[in-house]
């Protein structure tokens, strides 16, 4: 790293992309991370920061632009921190995401398994059915600038639903018209913190305003303005969050107008969604993802399936249609209540749900002698705790289907599963979040017969 100097200009070729969506350039063995770079381009770059094991740079000149370089359609790109890949064609974005999953499985997972494919979105714009808009201390509503809590005011976002954008702007108008103070996270004063919107397949929406208090002024006017902007709004809800910190939602809700839930359809099933319910933000790609998980599960109608981290039961109920018995487990109590309601609403009688931590539930079910044929897991970004993997292996399922939102923890957990007798045999990636660096993946792990599980 001694050869690289801050402010110095160097020439190099972009080799690929980091997990953060930055271009990777190697200079004399040192890795330089470069925003808005495209694989294959030779660039002159200025070093902006030298760190212990890497450096950061910015492009000064592109010698020959790649045919995969695209002109960003979003006027906020580069200021808003929401998207990472709008400077790439969608084909190149999919390559980058597939390669990220492949690298994680190979380098972290220690497996030579190849990622079979990446399933791209038919429509990579306006796909989000849940939007969370932070409110700046000055009352601006938009999204955070990259690596900061400064709000970039945004009226129209290319990946949010247009209904959500209109709803957020209606809240901004209400704040301005009635002088409703925004929350200032540096002082803990003020009222409005976030605007949260859900939109369903039918074009209905649910608006939640997150406030630093139990009530806000001019609540009827708030509801009226939201309904005027989005006439198919089914409810306006106030969430109280008086805690300092980055957590968006508090624990208490009060309905200002209408109802506090939204109905939606997914994989032919109907789901009730309250504000805190977990639900995949890209409905169309969720159906693709769940379809692949079902394919990997290989169900014939007789199997017992255990679904850990089941949320409101979306995957569990899809599995139940093809299984003899489906069991879902989730630590969030309201989600389990929703899951049970969803099962009843859809007439699913072979699904049951338990509330508890995945480690505790899996250990309890294993101790009770449950021997599922298939276990599916869809954990949060931190992946699986070692004791969950041990408990799953102790049950001895023939197959484990791992749905992941983080390639690095997926790779780590694939390696852990190999140590307890489960080999990764199939993998694919699914682009749930076009325009961003995030990618979902599905891996099938098969039990090694002849290898003793704990």
* Chain segment 126-145, per-residue pLDDT in tens: 999 999 999 999 999 999 99
Q: Which active-site residues does the annotation give?
A: 405
The total domain count for the chain is 3
- Tell me, yes or no, whether 408 and 433 share the same domain: yes
Report yes or no on 273 lying in a domain: no
- Tell me, yes or no, whether 19 and 154 share the same domain: no
Q: What is the CA radius of gyration of the chain?
A: 24
Kindly report, residue by residue over 361-389, the tens digit of the pLDDT.
Answer: 888 888 888 899 999 999 999 999 999 99
Measured CA to CA, the distance from residue 230 to residue 402 in angstroms comes to 38
- Tell me, yes or no, whether 399 and 307 share the same domain: yes
Report yes or no on 3 lying in a domain: no
| Segment 272-286 mean pLDDT | 91
Measured CA to CA, the distance from residue 201 to residue 379 in angstroms comes to 25
Q: Which H or E run includes 284? A: helix 283-297
In which band, very low, low, confident or very high, does the pLDDT at 1 lie, cut at 50, 70 and 90? very low
- pLDDT value at 199 more than 60: yes
- Tell me, yes or no, whether 441 and 295 share the same domain: yes
Report the sign of the C-alpha dihedral through residues 110, 115, 119, 125, in that order. positive
- Tell me, yes or no, whether 340 and 393 share the same domain: yes
Report yes or no on 346 lying in a domain: yes
pLDDT at 452: 47
In which band, very low, low, confident or very high, does the pLDDT at 414 lie, cut at 50, 70 and 90? very high
Report yes or no on 80 lying in a domain: no
pLDDT at 149: 87
- pLDDT value at 451 more than 70: no
- pLDDT value at 454 more than 80: no
Beginning with the edge strand found earlier in the chain, give each strand of the sheet holding 304-308 in spatial order. Answer: 118-119, 422-430, 440-447, 399-404, 374-377, 304-308, 325-330, 351-355
Q: Determine phi and psi for 404, rounding to 5 degrees.
A: -130, 145
Residue 110: count of CB within 10 angstroms of its CB: 13
Measured CA to CA, the distance from residue 13 to residue 112 in angstroms comes to 27
| Contact call for residues 425 and 315 (beta carbons, < 8 A) | no
| Contact call for residues 405 and 438 (beta carbons, < 8 A) | yes
- Tell me, yes or no, whether 111 and 136 share the same domain: no
| Segment 193-213 mean pLDDT | 98
Cα angle, residue 87 at apex, residues 85 and 92 outer, rounded to 5°: 65
In which band, very low, low, confident or very high, does the pLDDT at 450 lie, cut at 50, 70 and 90? low
Task: Find the domain containing 202 and state its range.
Answer: 130-266
- Tell me, yes or no, whether 310 and 432 share the same domain: yes
| Contact call for residues 73 and 30 (beta carbons, < 8 A) | no
- Tell me, yes or no, whether 368 and 237 share the same domain: no
Report yes or no on 116 lying in a domain: yes
Residue 88: count of CB within 10 angstroms of its CB: 24
Measured CA to CA, the distance from residue 428 to residue 297 in angstroms comes to 14
Domain holding 290: CATH number?
3.40.50.150
Kindly report, residue by residue over 231-274, the tens digit of the pLDDT.
Answer: 999 999 999 999 998 899 999 999 999 999 999 999 999 998 88
- Tell me, yes or no, whether 108 and 195 share the same domain: no
Report yes or no on 341 lying in a domain: yes
Report yes or no on 25 lying in a domain: yes
- pLDDT value at 206 more than 70: yes
Domain holding 248: CATH number?
2.40.50.1070
- Tell me, yes or no, whether 219 and 237 share the same domain: yes
| Segment 411-435 mean pLDDT | 98
- Tell me, yes or no, whether 191 and 251 share the same domain: yes
Q: Would you call 119 helix, strand, or coil by DSSP? A: strand
Q: Would you call 308 helix, strand, or coil by DSSP? A: strand
Domain final residue, candidates 236, 266, 296: 266
Report yes or no on 84 lying in a domain: no
Domain final residue, candidates 232, 266, 300: 266
- Tell me, yes or no, whether 117 and 134 share the same domain: no
């Amino acid at each position: 790293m001694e050869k690289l100097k801050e402010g110095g200009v160097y020439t190099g070729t972009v080799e690929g992309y980091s997990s953060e969506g930055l271009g990777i350039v190697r200079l004399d063995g040192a890795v330089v991370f470069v925003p808005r770079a495209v694989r294959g381009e030779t660039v002159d770059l200025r070093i902006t920061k030298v760190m212990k094991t890497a450096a950061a740079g910015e492009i000064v000149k592109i010698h020959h632009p790649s045919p995969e370089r695209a002109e960003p359609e979003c006027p906020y790109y580069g200021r808003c921190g929401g998207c990472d890949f709008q400077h790439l064609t969608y084909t190149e974005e999919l390559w980058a995401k597939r390669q990220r999953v492949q690298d994680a499985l190979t380098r972290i997972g220690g497996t030579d398994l190849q990622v079979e494919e990446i399933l791209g979105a038919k429509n990579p714009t306006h796909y989000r059915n849940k939007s969370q808009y932070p409110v700046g201390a000055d009352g601006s509503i938009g999204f955070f600038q990259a690596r900061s809590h400064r709000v970039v005011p945004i009226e129209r976002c290319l990946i949010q639903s247009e209904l959500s954008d209109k709803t957020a702007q209606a809240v901004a108008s209400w704040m301005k018209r009635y002088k409703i103070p925004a929350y200032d996270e540096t002082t803990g004063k003020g009222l409005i913190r976030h605007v949260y919107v859900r939109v369903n397949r039918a074009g209905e929406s649910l608006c939640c305003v997150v406030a630093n208090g139990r009530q806000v002024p001019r609540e009827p006017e708030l509801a009226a303005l939201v309904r005027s902007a989005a006439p198919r709004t089914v409810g306006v809800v106030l969430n109280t969050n008086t805690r300092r910190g980055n957590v968006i939602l508090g624990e208490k809700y009060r309905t200002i107008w209408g109802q506090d839930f939204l109905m939606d359809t997914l994989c032919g099933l109907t789901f009730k969604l309250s504000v805190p319910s977990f639900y995949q933000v890209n409905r169309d790609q969720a159906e693709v993802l769940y379809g692949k998980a079902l394919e990997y599960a290989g169900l014939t109608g007789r199997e017992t399936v255990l679904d850990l981290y089941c949320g409101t039961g979306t995957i569990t109920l899809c599995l139940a249609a093809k299984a003899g018995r489906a069991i879902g487990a989730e630590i969030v109590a309201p989600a389990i209540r929703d899951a049970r309601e969803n099962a009843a609403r859809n007439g699913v009688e072979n699904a049951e749900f338990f509330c508890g931590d995945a480690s505790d539930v899996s250990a309890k079910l294993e101790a009770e002698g449950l021997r599922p044929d298939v276990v599916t897991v869809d954990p949060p970004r931190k992946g699986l705790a070692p004791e969950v993997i041990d408990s799953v292996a102790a049950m001895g399922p023939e197959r484990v289907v791992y749905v992941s939102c983080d390639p690095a923890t997926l790779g780590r957990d694939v390696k852990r599963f190999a140590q307890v007798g489960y080999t990764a045999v199939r993998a694919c990636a699914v682009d749930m979040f076009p325009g961003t660096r995030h990618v979902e993946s599905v891996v099938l792990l098969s039990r090694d017969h002849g290898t003793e599980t704990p």
